[in-house]
Structure 1
Amino acid sequence: MAEYGLCGERLSHSYSEIIHKMLGNEKYRLLSMTKEEFYVFFEKREFCAVNVTIPYKTDALKLCDVVSDEAKMIGSVNTVVNKNGKLFGYNTDIFGFIYMLRLAGVEVCGKKVLILGTGGTSLTANAACKKLEAKEIVTVSRSGKVNYENVYTDHPDAQVIINTTPVGMYPSNGTSPIDISKFPDLSGVADVIYNPGKTRFLLDAQKRGIPTAGGLSMLVAQAVEADRIFFDKENVDVLDITKRVLGVIESGVRNIILVGMPGCGKTTVGKILARQLSRELIDADEYLTKKEGRTPEDIIKNDGEDAFRALETETLRDITKLSGKVISCGGGAVLREENRELIGQNGICIYINRPIEKLATAGRPLSAGGTDRLKALFEMRDPLYRECADFCVDLEENGKNCAQKIIERFGYEK
């Protein structure tokens, strides 16, 4: 019997089991099931408490004996507790949604809000925006009155856009449901997707200096509230627990991505970080070499730099979708804007800066040409490294000290 868990259709991307185990529930499991299996599971009632996710939240509402007022208002249930054979349904998503907006400073009070999507989470977003006193709420769907074509002409004055669709979710990273450049009055955007940490939708807004809210904080907050309901906990500081769990989850699932000049020590530092943090190290150049059967040096010499850069982008597209890795990028990985977006979507980017005279140049054709060539490369790339980086660390002595600075800066647990 599955005592606790998450019921849904496709759960390979879910962090819920990790979060609930951090909250002390070692019996929590991911329960992937078809709709038919979901109905049988609920009819048998052989569980203590479960969460429910896409696409069964509205079905859960119908199957519960008692439903909270909030869940009724939203029209979906994401938390179910079995009390002596009687199923009680709740919705903690609205708590998580409001937490997400407030944490990121995305204000909806008195503003015109576009909600993308019509599923269960769209209903949650709608209810939350009403609770937060939005001035106007417009739902956008593929076949509704307001769709992804006429929204640009009919609602260009939108001030907040909330994505509740799966567009941009792992493994389909890099796609966005809407072109935010056509909304000049935007003051905030939110995306309920939490994998990747920053979707293309959020990255587009971030580049324009617009406040953004990502779905991981919503996921953690609703899970903490659900855990409180599961075990009928009293006098619990849900906000404090959420903050602490969110910090650990963010550092654990986000990649550590190392950028810097060729020969600066990225691979050396990466190996130390991977060993100390028990993470897998992925060297982008080695990944590309294994996939193509040729080294970057061979590709550049025989096919040219442009051919290599195209393959480098394909490589980054593959490896930045992953979670919880240490990734060492090639020295020129930041040259393409698309690559910089890929680096930013699911990781903490560290720029390793090393004095030019100490850079290793053997086997690096683009670094050949002496100090003058290296200086020219550095002057061109340094601003791009800094644009990507969440943290810049100098490597003057050895890789061990550099790795330790990174661990201390972001509070990683060994």
Structure 2
Amino acid sequence: MLKCGLLGEKLGHSYSPQIHSMLADYEYKLFEKSPEELEDFLKSGEFDGLNVTIPYKKSVMPYCAELSPTAAQIGSVNTIVRRSDGSLYGDNTDAFGFENLIVHNGIEVKGKKALVLGTGGASVTAQAVLKNLGASEVVVISRRGEDNYENIAKHADAEIIANTTPVGMYPNNGKAAVDLTQFPKLSGVLDVVYNPARTALLLQAEKLGIPCAGGLYMLVSQAKRSCELFTGKSIPDSEIDRIERVLSHQMQNIVIIGMPGSGKTAVSTMLAERLGRKIFDTDTIVSEKAGVTIPEIFAAQGEAGFRKLETEATAEVGKLSGNIISTGGGVVTVAGNYELLHQNGVIVWIERDTNKLARDGRPISLSSDLNELYAARLPLYERFADIKADNNGDINDTVNAIMEMIK
């Protein structure tokens, strides 16, 4: 069996082993090596193939007896194959991945001015791909270079923006390197970050109606090309789509919204049991952190005080991946909560007739006409929701319907 893996200094959690296990049958390990260990590992380590990540994409190049034309052009290696004579061959499959990301999402680059945010290894790859695809001009934006974030306004005519920095990556969600409203001609936004699925940059692009894409498709694409180099066998591109769907489904949160008393907690609990996922309830988090019940928070701080605490809880759980999130009925009344829930989630609106809504322990329900409350919140639920599920009948039917819709 081939012995392959990912080489880096600090790897933490990586999806690479899972991706490669879905591509072929070979061993794939994580190799964390310090700079002092790098030379000995490359010269005598027991491996047949490696993917290489930061900070070693340039460091490994002198140890490669031959480089692919792509790796030589870019000046960066992220895939190494040990040949039959023991020598190392270096390639750059990130370029294949980034080009696939662009083409798959139908973003036209030819003849357009592109800005690349960042100067690291991913930036160099993005620059090369954009030039190869016919971009009329490729400008690199850095913190201290000639073209930087302080004078970026002089590039307001940019039509493509590619973020290759870690800005906005988990756990520092919610940050973006630039404000897209500065670029009125934008026709495409790309972000190599894949966790969260929608960075703040991509969320703004969506809001502005600009075609955009995150980095998960790139990650899977480059892994597919690496696997072909490791095994010497061709793999159909359809495998990229299949694996990307599996990972996307696995990583996304399932967020439950709906009127107070509509059965959100019960539906969330059953979904968590069926799917083997953790469940987070924003009301429970708020109550536990405050050390008092929800009605007591309303009594002491009013609705505004509760909403502030609720948004903090929403931000905390919204940045996580692969969970069930049960929200309070009024989470939709704060517009900013949408991005917090949408960044990593599919949002499911649980619908139940107002005459069937439970009121106990729900301050706003007890003090409001439910029909009027529903009428006021209806457009908000519609704005937040990706899908709707009727919960007027058997809860098993509701959960089954949700599971079918999110496949």
> Do the structures match in fold with TM over 0.5?
yes
Conserved? CA contact 2:117–2:140, under 8 Å: yes
* Aligned residue number for residue 251 of structure 2: 253
Q: 1:324 aligned to 2:325?
A: no
- The separation in 1 between residues aligned to 2:109 and 2:298, in whole angstroms, is 51
Counterpart amino acid of 1:275? E
* Stretch deviating more after TM superposition (337-346 or 166-175): 337-346
Partner of 2:402: 406
How has the CA–CA distance of structure 1 residues 300 and 131 changed in structure 2, closer, same or farther, with 3 Å as cutoff?
same
> Matched residue of 1:88: which SS?
strand
CA contact (8 A) 2:352 2:390 kept: yes
Q: Distance in 2 between matches of 1:36 and 1:360?
A: 64
- Alpha carbons 1:74, 1:123 under 8 Å: kept: yes
* 1:396 matches 2:392: yes
C-alpha contact 2:24 2:227 (8 A) present in aligned 1: no
Contact kept in structure 1, 2:252 and 2:322, CA below 8 Å:
yes
Give the direction of change, closer, same or farther, for the CA distance of 1:9–1:344 in structure 2 (3 Å limit). farther
Aligned equivalents of 1:400 and 1:9: distance in 2?
47
2:372 counterpart of 1:384: no
The answer as to whether partners of 1:7 and 1:38 remain within 8 angstroms in 2 is no
**Counterpart in 2 of 1:315?**
313
The Cα shift of 1:61 comes to: 2.3
Specify every segment of 5 or more residues in structure 2 that has no aligned partner in the other structure, as ranges.
none
- DSSP 3-state at the match of 2:6: strand
1:51 aligns with 2:47: no
> Relative to 1, partners in 2 of residues 1:32 and 1:315: Cα closer, same or farther, differing over 3 Å?
farther
Equivalent residue letter for 2:386 = D
CA shift for structure 1 position 277: 1.0
Q: Distance in 2 between matches of 1:227 and 1:148?
A: 38
Shift of 1:26: 5.8
Instruction: Name 1:148's counterpart in structure 2.
Output: 149
| Structure 1 residues 29 and 316: CA distance shift in structure 2, 3 A | farther
The offset of 1:50, in angstroms, is: 1.4
Could you state the TM-score of these two structures normalised by the residue count of structure 2? Answer: 0.95
Question: How far off its partner does 1:25 sit?
Answer: 4.1
Equivalent AA in structure 2 for residue 226 of structure 1? S
Provide the rounded CA distance (Å) in 2 between the counterparts of 1:63 and 1:382: 62
1:339 maps to which residue? 337
Q: Contact 2:4–2:26 (CA<8 Å) still a contact in 1?
A: no
* CA-to-aligned-CA distance 1:224-243 (integer Å, 9 cap, x gap): 11111111113x31x11101
**Helix, strand or coil for the counterpart of 2:58?**
helix
Look up the equivalent residue of 2:379 and give its one-letter code: P
Residue by residue, what CA displacement relative to the aligned partner does 1:348-387 show, whole Å, maximum 9, x if unpaired?
11111111111111101011135x2x22322232222222
The one-letter code of the counterpart of 1:205 is: A
Q: CA deviation at 1:338?
A: 2.1
Instruction: Give the match for residue 101 of structure 2.
Output: 100
CA contact (8 A) 1:3 1:47 kept: yes
Is the contact between residue 168 and residue 176 of structure 1 (CA under 8 Å) also seen in structure 2? yes
Quick check: 2:3–2:26 contact (8 Å CA) kept in 1? no
CA-to-partner distance for each residue in 1:238-296, whole Å, 9 max, x for gaps? x1110111111110111111111111111111111111111111112122223332232
Identical-residue share of aligned pairs (%): 46
User: Quick one: which amino acid aligns to residue 288 of structure 2?
Assistant: K
Change (3 A) 1:265 1:146: same
Distance 1:380 1:60, change over 3 A: farther
Q: Hey, what's the Cα distance between the residues in 1 that align with 2:44 and 2:232?
A: 23
CA RMSD after TM alignment? 1.7
Q: Partner of 2:336: helix, strand, or coil?
A: helix
Which residue of 1 is the match for residue 91 of structure 2? 90
- The one-letter code sitting in structure 2 at the alignment partner of 1:126 is Q
* Cα separation, 1, equivalents of 2:65 and 2:315: 46
Secondary structure of the residue that 2:331 maps to in structure 1? coil
What are the equivalent positions in structure 2 for 1:13-162 lying under 5 Å apart?
Answer: 13-25=13-25, 27-84=27-84, 85-152=86-153, 154-162=154-162
**Post-superposition offset of 1:67:** 1.0
Residues of 1 paired with 2:365 and 2:7: CA distance?
53
TM (norm. structure 1) is 0.94
Structure 1 position 163 matched with structure 2 position 163 = yes
Partner of 2:166: helix, strand, or coil?
coil
What is the CA–CA distance in structure 1 between the aligned matches of 2:276 and 2:204, rounded to whole Å?
A: 33
- What SS does structure 2 have at the residue aligned with 1:77? coil
Secondary structure, counterpart of 1:304 in structure 2:
helix
What amino acid is the match of 1:185? K
Q: Which amino acid aligns with 1:141?
A: S
The 3-state SS of whatever aligns with 2:59 is helix
DSSP 3-state at the match of 1:172 = coil
- Matched residues in 2 for 1:53 and 1:245: separation? 21
Residues 26 and 410 (structure 1), Cα distance of their counterparts in 2 relative to 1, 3 Å cut: farther
Q: SS where residue 382 of structure 1 aligns?
A: helix
- Secondary structure (helix, strand or coil) at the match of 1:114 reads strand
Distance 1:33 1:361 in 2: 58
State the 1:322 CA deviation. 1.3
In the TM superposition, what whole-angstrom CA distance separates every residue of 1:165-206 from its partner, at most 9, and x where no partner exists? Answer: 000001100000101111111111000000000000000110
For residue 334 of structure 1, give the secondary structure of its aligned residue in structure 2.
helix
Q: Could you tell me which residue of structure 1 aligns to residue 176 of structure 2?
A: 176
- Counterpart CA distance in 2 for 1:334 and 1:62 is 55
Q: Deviations over 1:2-33 (max 9, x none)?
A: 93221223433532222112224462223334
Indicate conservation of the 8 Å contact 1:64/1:89, yes or no. yes
CA–CA separation in structure 1 for the residues paired with 2:40 and 2:330: 54
AA matched with 1:128: V
